[in-house]
Amino acid sequence: MDTPAAPPAPYDLLGVGIGPFNLSLAALAEPVPGLRTLFCDQRPEFRWHPGMLVDGARMQVPFLADLVSLVDPTNPWSFLNYLRDRDRLFPFYFAERFQLPRREYDHYCRWAAERLGNCRFGTEVTALHWQQGLFRAELTDTATGRRSHVHARNLALGVGTRPVLPEAFAVLDGHPRAFHSADYLDRRGDLAGARDITVVGSGQSGAEVLLDLLRRHDGDGVRLRWLTRTRALAPMEYSKLGLEHFTPDYTRYFHSLPEPVRDTLVAAQWQLHKAASAETLAEIHDHLYERTIGRPIDTAPVEITPGTAVTDARPGPRGGIELHCRHADSGAEHLVRTDAVVLATGYRAARPAALEPLAHLIDWDAAGRYRVDLDHRVATRPQLTGGLYVQNAELHTHGVGTPDLGLGAHRAAVILNAVTGRTVHRLPTRTAWTGFAPPRAAIATPTIPRPQELTRAATAGR
């Protein structure tokens, strides 16, 4: 009689979703001796914001914000090693570019994802359970429909964020000429024939969409409009000291603050993580300047209107769209009739459906969000003893650096150290010149002598 095969050993870490952050974790985990990891994604291959890989669009972070370099520059999955593998080191050297083209960053990540042995695409994690001290993950092969399961001691959720459709635009969901910027390249053809196009949203995506439309409709009479709720088209904060908000030092400080303070800060710091780059705004201005040489500036069919909120959006006559708008400063309301709308209205973290079987074991905060410790581990009920970690779902607990690629490798290393219970990667204790918190010990304010006291002291010293 044949002896039944023993079940496979559980994985030490199972990653759900393979975006840049879980890909970073996979790349840092792969060389660790004895560590069994698996990362699954339902897509057939790695893709990074494919709808926004517009020609000429550049990253907002330096190339060192790759999958591994800011933790381990010697790791084989660094961007420089990718260049070496593709025989592009000398072209990159002569290009003298610190920020990469978006298309190249996407290609680099796909290069790593296709070669990492612990990444499995075309595999959807459909349900997660807690059974007998282990996570049980139900898997489905998206090509064949075949089902299987694996066990793991720890989970890392890296399912990314989802496009936000503001409530005011809910009625337009499914409209052939109203779509989110996440689908811009796939849906750009739907704008053909439109004589009036409106872009909503003042972040980098909105700026890049407007710039691309300006280039495509130079001189053809198509009216372009840019509406933003923010009162000014202020650029992304990119000063050297300002960038220290994207360090582990600031993350630790932000995490230590009371929840109401954190929520207020995230909204107030929009210019740190939601604005457009100064370079893109300059390109828009340069394009408009060149277009109007020899003509009054108001002859260009372009409207840029900040401080304007769309309060309601509805289908209009002849397939058009009507936008009811309110000006923030004056309170004046007006109606905009347009043929098409591109919504550059951002992204929001979403709870994956596979997590529902575990939802009753998670210690949610009052707003239904994860409670996340400094190691990026989610607070759970006592009976769930495995580690549940999140990536890019903790903006409310870890601050503006959460979605930033520059902190991706560091966060992955923190999770890896926590999962293994040892220092796999040594991390620096201080990363910023700025001290964000007040001094630990109160410093007494020195007593400043009054002028007459100074006079008496000087006389006594003669």
pLDDT of residue 460: 39
For the chain, report the end-to-end CA distance as a whole number of angstroms: 110
Sign of CA dihedral 224, 227, 228, 234: positive
Is a pLDDT exceeding 50 seen at residue 447? no
Identify the band that residue 452 occupies on the pLDDT scale cut at 50, 70 and 90.
very low
- Stretch 279-285: mean pLDDT, rounded? 95
Q: What is the largest CA-CA distance in the chain?
A: 110
pLDDT of residue 203: 93
pLDDT of residue 234: 86
Identify the band that residue 74 occupies on the pLDDT scale cut at 50, 70 and 90.
very high
Is a pLDDT exceeding 90 seen at residue 446? no
pLDDT of residue 448: 44
pLDDT of residue 103: 96
pLDDT of residue 91: 97
Place of tokens 């009052």: 366
Under 8 Å between Cβ of 23 and 39: yes
The 3-state secondary structure of the chain, one letter per residue: CCCCCCCCCCECEEEECCCHHHHHHHHHHCCCCCCCEEEEECCCCCCCCHHHCCCCCEEEEECCCCCCCCCCCCCCCCHHHHHHHCCCHHHHHHHCCCEEEHHHHHHHHHHHHHHCCCEEECEEEEEEEEECCEEEEEEEECCCCCEEEEEECEEEECCCEEECCCHHHHHHCCCCCEEEHHHHHHHHHHHCCCCEEEEECCCHHHHHHHHHHHHHCCCCCCEEEEECCCCCCCECCCCCCHHHHHCHHHHHHHHCCCHHHHHHHHHHCHHHHCCECHHHHHHHHHHHHHHCCCCCHHHCCEEEECCEEEEEEEECHHHCEEEEEEECCCCCEEEEEECEEEECCCEEECCCHHHHHHHHHECECCCCCECECCCCEECECCCCCCEEEECCCCHHHHCCCCCCHHHHHHHHHHHHHHHHCCCCCCCCCCCCCCCCCCCCCCCCCCCCCCHHHHHHHHHHCC
pLDDT of residue 298: 86
Q: Could you report the per-residue pLDDT of 34-61, keeping only the tens digit for each?
A: 999 999 999 999 999 999 999 989 999 9
pLDDT of residue 273: 87
Q: How far apart are CA 252 and CA 242, in angstroms?
A: 16
Q: Could you report the per-residue pLDDT of 226-256, keeping only the tens digit for each?
A: 999 999 898 998 899 999 999 999 999 999 9
Is a pLDDT exceeding 90 seen at residue 443? no
Is a pLDDT exceeding 70 seen at residue 260? yes
- Higher pLDDT pick, 381 / 444: 381
Beta strand 347-349 pairing with 223-227: unpaired
Go through the domains of the chain in sequence order and give each one's CATH number. Answer: 11-160+350-420 (3.50.50.60), 165-236+274-347 (3.50.50.60)
Q: How far apart are CA 328 and CA 307, in angstroms?
A: 5
Under 8 Å between Cβ of 68 and 28: yes
At 420, which amino acid appears?
Answer: T
Q: How far apart are CA 79 and CA 456, in angstroms?
A: 69
Is a pLDDT exceeding 80 seen at residue 127? yes
Identify the band that residue 300 occupies on the pLDDT scale cut at 50, 70 and 90.
confident
pLDDT of residue 426: 96
- Stretch 186-211: mean pLDDT, rounded? 96
pLDDT of residue 5: 60
Using alpha carbons, list the distances in angstroms from residue 164 to 148, 168, 190, 320: 33, 11, 20, 22
Q: Could you report the per-residue pLDDT of 165-192, keeping only the tens digit for each?
A: 999 999 999 999 999 999 999 999 999 9
pLDDT of residue 461: 37
Under 8 Å between Cβ of 263 and 342: no
- Higher pLDDT pick, 48 / 460: 48
Under 8 Å between Cβ of 258 and 440: no
Which residues are registered as beta bridge partners of 336?
323
For residue 166, the Cα-to-chain-centroid distance in whole angstroms is 18
Is a pLDDT exceeding 50 seen at residue 346? yes
Identify the band that residue 303 occupies on the pLDDT scale cut at 50, 70 and 90.
very high
Count of C-beta atoms within a 10 Å radius of residue 335: 10
Structure tokens at 453: 């006291």
Average per-residue pLDDT in the chain?
A: 92
pLDDT of residue 2: 57
- Show Cβ contacts of residue 7 under 8 Å, excluding neighbours closer than 6 positions: 151
Neighbour order of strands in the sheet with 321-327: 308-315, 321-327, 333-338
Under 8 Å between Cβ of 157 and 391: yes
Is a pLDDT exceeding 70 seen at residue 368? yes
pTM of the model: 0.91
% of the chain surpassing 90 pLDDT:
86
Count of C-beta atoms within a 10 Å radius of residue 401: 22
Q: How far apart are CA 10 and CA 150, in angstroms?
A: 7
Using alpha carbons, list the distances in angstroms from residue 99 to 19, 58, 310, 363: 20, 6, 34, 40
- Show Cβ contacts of residue 423 under 8 Å, excluding neighbours closer than 6 positions: 417
Q: How far apart are CA 342 and CA 324, in angstroms?
A: 16
- Stretch 400-408: mean pLDDT, rounded? 96
Structure tokens at 298: 């108001």
